A and B are shown apart, each in its own frame.
Chain A
Amino acid sequence: MAFRKDLLLISSWIKPNSKVLDLGCGNGELLRLLELDKNIHGYGIDNDVINIKKSLQNNINVLQMDLDEGLKDFEAGSFNYVVLAQSLQVIKNPKLLIDDMLRVGDEIIVSFPNMGHWLARLQLFFKGRMPITSNLPYRWHNTPNIHLCTINDFLDFCEKNNYEITEKYIADSKQKTSFLTKLMPNLFGEIATFRIK
């Protein structure tokens, strides 16, 4: 099984034998990877029954729950890591969920597609239309993504809410860093991943 590169990055941040909660786990790929490579004990959450089936087929623990209801079934400090990989943009109230993630996990990992990437900017600037990219393939009327942001937006959001960013990785479309993503991350970064305490 070839794993998604952004998930390999998240995996590299996770210590072996830890306990992981993966929010919006999709087909359970991240937890499968972590169980194979890091011997973690994990649970995924997803609200789509198709993803529940796929996750069960990947032999991971998966819970059909609505993240917009928060993490009320989880005790404070009951996980080493709570991960929200590329699902921040579909959450109704990102602050409430991130606060809840910080309550449940010792640390959290959040990744999202950067709306400040130059391709998105060009589409809005020259075409005058909502950007459609490989990470954000939807049109304005059928997108589940209701809270898209840029890297700078997210940095402001963390500062305002006193979220402590301990590590970040701004990557291009190949999930690699380059001179440009380091120099101007908000213009050249496609996927941003943050470790937060």
Chain B
Amino acid sequence: MNDKSINMITSIAKINKPLKLVSGKIISEYDLKYETYGKLNKEKSNAVLICHALSGNHHVAGYYENDKKPGWWDNMIGPNKPIDTDKLYVVCLNNLGGCHGSTGPTSINPKTKKIYGSDFPIMTVSDWVNSQKELMSYLGIPSWSFIVGGSLGGMQAFQWTIQNPTLVENCVIIAAAPKLTAQNIAFNEVARQAIMKDPNWHDGNYMEKGVIPSQGLALARMLGHITYLSDESMGEKFGRDLKKTKLNFNYDVEFQIESYLRYQGEKFVTGFDANTYLIMTKSLDYFDPIKDFGNSLKETFKTVNSKYLIISFTSDWRFPPKRSRELVKLLLDNDKNVSYSEINSEGGHDAFLMDNKDYFDVMRSFIDEANNGI
């Protein structure tokens, strides 16, 4: 259903303040593409930041003209939805290093006048938080009523609270973890290798050659996609269904799941940049705020006044419930206000994007109660 009532603005913030990255590199100026929904109230107390995950972007809700599909989290965000744009002012941006309108590897490097390509620096979650804070100032928002994110987005939400302890009233972290395991990093490495072994990779400067490493990027996406689904959900959707009536004893697409994965891979390469994919996976691998803050974490937490809601899904094996529980324990050990819900779902990691009554009710209960103060 095309929901025309959503008050959506898409724009670009030009940030001229240099951003010093964790790597030591500096981005002197950059664009952040963002979208807003709803209205900032007089007290400026109803702003919500949505942080996107690996392949997300600023278009989180609503429909563009002539589009059949809405933004990537349209079921969660909109009028009368759990994140209610009739009450809240929702902001979502394309992260720096992305490929949907913010400065990233496909942009022109102002210093060299050439496409960044692999020269674009590796971003960390901490760098993203700093750039998002610039957008916050740009939009005249004094603090966030909520920061909400799933997966890598949840990691950004968490990082926000410890990096800016007084600027986040409520933090919702969904299907995330305090750091990646060896298995998580292993999947990311295979994805990167698939991209970098593509004959069209050209050390990351493929755009100059007028090609894209589409085979590698498609493979990376196919692998990723498997890890976002559960065995149950794949079994239910595809089982051992065949594309044709019988086995043909060749290596063409035979099973429906093969067809589906190939389609997902091919679709992905038309809208996503390979260098951005590498940056996103690296930022995931590097994320480890507990180690980064070290001994100062306890002191930092004393000043954090955010209230947290952590949500996990039973069938998520990329970031399973026990990983969310690690975050919960960390917050409990530091006497922070935290609630936790483990939602029964067969959706795997991607469950955070799917409709689920319990999940949506939990979100709504937390958000509405916290909203009573607004």
Contacts of A54 in B (CB 8 A): 365
Instruction: Find out whether the CB atom of A52 lies under 8 angstroms from the CB atom of B362.
Output: yes
Contacts of A136 in B (CB 8 A): none
Within 8 A of A (CB), among B280-335: 309, 325, 328-329, 332-333, 335
Contacts of A61 in B (CB 8 A): 337-339
Contacts of B343 in A (CB 8 A): 49
Contacts of A53 in B (CB 8 A): 358, 361-362, 365
Determine if A41 is an interface residue (Cβ-Cβ < 8 Å).
Answer: yes
Contacts of B370 in A (CB 8 A): 59
A53 to chain B: closest CB distance in Å? 5
Of chain A, the residue at the smallest CB distance from B308 is A61
User: Which of B325, B329, B339, B366 gathers the greatest number of chain A CB atoms within 10 Å?
Assistant: B339
A56–B333 alpha-carbon span in the complex (Å): 21
Determine if B340 is an interface residue (Cβ-Cβ < 8 Å).
Answer: yes
Of chain B, the residue at the smallest CB distance from A55 is B339
Determine if A97 is an interface residue (Cβ-Cβ < 8 Å).
Answer: no
Instruction: Find out whether the CB atom of A52 lies under 8 angstroms from the CB atom of B339.
Output: yes
Instruction: Find out whether the CB atom of B329 lies under 8 angstroms from the CB atom of A73.
Output: yes
Interface size classification for chain B: 20 to 34
A72–B344 alpha-carbon span in the complex (Å): 22
Instruction: Find out whether the CB atom of B325 lies under 8 angstroms from the CB atom of A73.
Output: yes
Instruction: Find out whether the CB atom of B340 lies under 8 angstroms from the CB atom of A65.
Output: yes
Determine if A90 is an interface residue (Cβ-Cβ < 8 Å).
Answer: no
Of chain B, the residue at the smallest CB distance from A54 is B365
Determine if A159 is an interface residue (Cβ-Cβ < 8 Å).
Answer: no
Of chain B, the residue at the smallest CB distance from A65 is B340
Contacts of A49 in B (CB 8 A): 341, 343-344, 358, 361-362
Instruction: Find out whether the CB atom of B362 lies under 8 angstroms from the CB atom of A56.
Output: yes
Contacts of A56 in B (CB 8 A): 309, 339, 362, 365-366, 369
Determine if A110 is an interface residue (Cβ-Cβ < 8 Å).
Answer: no
A43–B338 alpha-carbon span in the complex (Å): 8
Of chain B, the residue at the smallest CB distance from A45 is B340
Of chain A, the residue at the smallest CB distance from B365 is A56
Of chain A, the residue at the smallest CB distance from B344 is A49
Instruction: Find out whether the CB atom of B337 lies under 8 angstroms from the CB atom of A63.
Output: no
Instruction: Find out whether the CB atom of A64 lies under 8 angstroms from the CB atom of B340.
Output: yes
A35–B171 alpha-carbon span in the complex (Å): 21
Instruction: Find out whether the CB atom of A63 lies under 8 angstroms from the CB atom of B328.
Output: yes
Determine if B231 is an interface residue (Cβ-Cβ < 8 Å).
Answer: no
A55–B339 alpha-carbon span in the complex (Å): 10
A176–B339 alpha-carbon span in the complex (Å): 34
Determine if A82 is an interface residue (Cβ-Cβ < 8 Å).
Answer: no
A-B contact pairs, 21 of them (CB 8 A): A19-B335, A43-B332, A49-B343, A49-B361, A52-B365, A53-B358, A55-B339, A57-B365, A57-B368, A58-B369, A61-B337, A61-B338, A62-B340, A63-B328, A63-B338, A64-B342, A73-B325, A73-B328, A74-B332, A78-B332, A78-B333
Known: A52-B339, A53-B362, A65-B342. 13 other contacts (CB 8 A): A43-B332, A49-B358, A53-B361, A53-B365, A54-B365, A56-B365, A57-B368, A61-B338, A61-B339, A62-B339, A65-B340, A73-B328, A73-B332
